[in-house]
Amino acid sequence: SGQRIDHFEDTIKLGNKKKWFKDGDKVVRVRDVRTHWDSVFLMGYRFLELRLPLDRFISVTRELEHLKMTPAEWSRLEDIVFVLGLPHAVQITLNAEKTPTLGSVIPQFKLFMTSLEELGKATPSLKEITDVGILWATKYYSRMDNSRAYAVAMFSALTLHEYDIQFV
């Protein structure tokens, strides 16, 4: 409702005034967010940033008290956001290129998959989450691997790379 939104915004303002937020940056309620493939990461990250005002808001709003997250639930959300940060980092890397090509995407994608596997092995508490990521990544990789565009792109990348070397 409008009153809840106003109350939540007041709670965020109080948090800004009392410096509840980690970075000390002014925090505002997110209104319209374009949907990206990594929107779950961005929403989870933002939710974690707003933990203090959310807890306070829910604590003083009786009809929402049943929604208050336990410390274990907050910890699990931190784990999920951490794992989702891996593909987000790949996206940031690829966004730095003007025109990412399959020749540059595939090594990044393989690195991402390897990172998921290693993280799952090194941190058993994250294995359930990393296994889901590996399952989806493998599905996408299989689709890419079976396309003609993949073969053409890889051949083109090799040919262009060899061509560049000849002029060096």
Identify which has the larger pLDDT, 72 or 15: 72
Do 127 and 138 contact (CB within 8 A), yes or no?
Answer: no
| DSSP conformation class of 69 | P
Query: Shortest CA distance to 9 belongs to which of 27, 21, 24?
Result: 27
Looking at every residue in the chain, the average pLDDT score rounds to 81
What does the pLDDT read at residue 68? Answer: 93
Average pLDDT over residues 40-57: 91
Give tens-digit pLDDT for 12-42. Answer: 888 888 887 766 677 777 665 555 667 889 8
Phi, psi for 25 (deg, rounded to 5): -75, 150
Q: Is residue 158 very low, low, confident or very high in pLDDT (cuts 50, 70, 90)?
A: low
What does the pLDDT read at residue 168? Answer: 44
Radius of gyration for the chain, computed over Cα atoms and rounded to the nearest angstrom: 21
Phi, psi for 113 (deg, rounded to 5): -65, -40
Cβ count near 83 (within 10 Å): 21
**Chain-centre distance for alpha carbon 91:** 9
Give tens-digit pLDDT for 114-139. Answer: 999 999 999 999 999 999 989 988 88
Instruction: Indicate the residue type of 112.
Output: F
Identify which has the larger pLDDT, 107 or 58: 58
State how far the Cα of 119 lies from the Cα of 79, in Å rounded to an integer: 11
**Quick one: tokens of 124?**
């058993």
Phi, psi for 53 (deg, rounded to 5): -65, -35
Domain boundaries, the chain: 1-68, 85-168
State how far the Cα of 107 lies from the Cα of 116, in Å rounded to an integer: 14
Q: pTM for the full model?
A: 0.66
* DSSP states of 96-110: TSSS--HHHHHHHHH
